[in-house]
Amino acid sequence: MHNCLLFGLALVLVFLPNCCFAENPDDSLLIYAVNVHQTPMQGWGPGYGIYLGKGLFITAAHVAGRTWLTRPKVAILGQEYPTRVVKEGSLEGTDLTILSVEEGLLPLRLRLRRSPLCDDFPWPGEEVITVVPKGTARSRVIAPERIPLSVRKFSTAIVDVAKTGNSGSGVFDAHRRCLLGIMSRKISQTRTQNGSGKTETRDIAKYFVPASAIREFIPAGTTF
């Protein structure tokens, strides 16, 4: 009997790491990520959004589009939910739109969640996690001086353009797990080669609308 107990304990110790520690801790943020569908579905594929709490979702304005025309829906695990537009921005202005879904319709696991906004402004080198429904990716905030002067107004940006989430995805502080911003657009740079005169355009960063702008955008009296 004693030997059997020892053998059973050994099995637990051997198999525990595989069953309990293999999951990426960053994946705990996946619950906040949703898809945003226009009506009819946009040709470039589903957009992204983040759940704030109390039935409120935030996305990039150009993902939702002109909402009177696109009638955006929030999609969670393939299930679409009709929305009410709380506030609509624009790509040229503040690239944010806030949508509301009747809270009672949402999965219980989501209704219990809240995404707090970060209080501090993003700083160069800050480690972040970008989040979309199908996965997460780590990156860092880029120093503003590395962004071309012509577009330096988009100063809150991250590196790792290819592997991180696209428009509407969430940018979370990697340590505090607060919402640092919403992804808006790529920042590209065009260079002309000496001698050949050929031009080359490459993506160097991704701009996200920071939490401070989100806080200003949210209508007065709105809580989540």
pLDDT tens sequence across 157-188? 999 998 998 999 999 999 999 999 999 999 98
Place of tokens 């809580």: 223
Check residues 22 and 158 and name the one with the higher pLDDT: 158
Checking if the pLDDT of 16 tops 50, the result is no
Residue 80 has a CB neighbour count (10 Å cut-off) of 14
108, two tokens: 């219980």
pTM: 0.86
For 119, list phi and psi in degrees, rounded to 5: -85, -35
Q: Please give the single-letter amino acid code of residue 201.
A: T
For 182, list phi and psi in degrees, rounded to 5: -120, 130
Query: What pLDDT, in 10s, does the model give residues 46-94?
Result: 899 999 999 999 999 999 999 999 999 999 999 999 999 999 999 999 9
For residue 144, cis peptide bond before it (omega within 30 degrees of 0): no
- Rounded to an integer, the average pLDDT of 26-46 is 93
141, two tokens: 């905030």
Contacts of 80 (CB under 8 A, 6+ apart): 37, 73, 74
Instruction: Grade residue 199 by pLDDT with cuts at 50, 70 and 90.
Output: confident
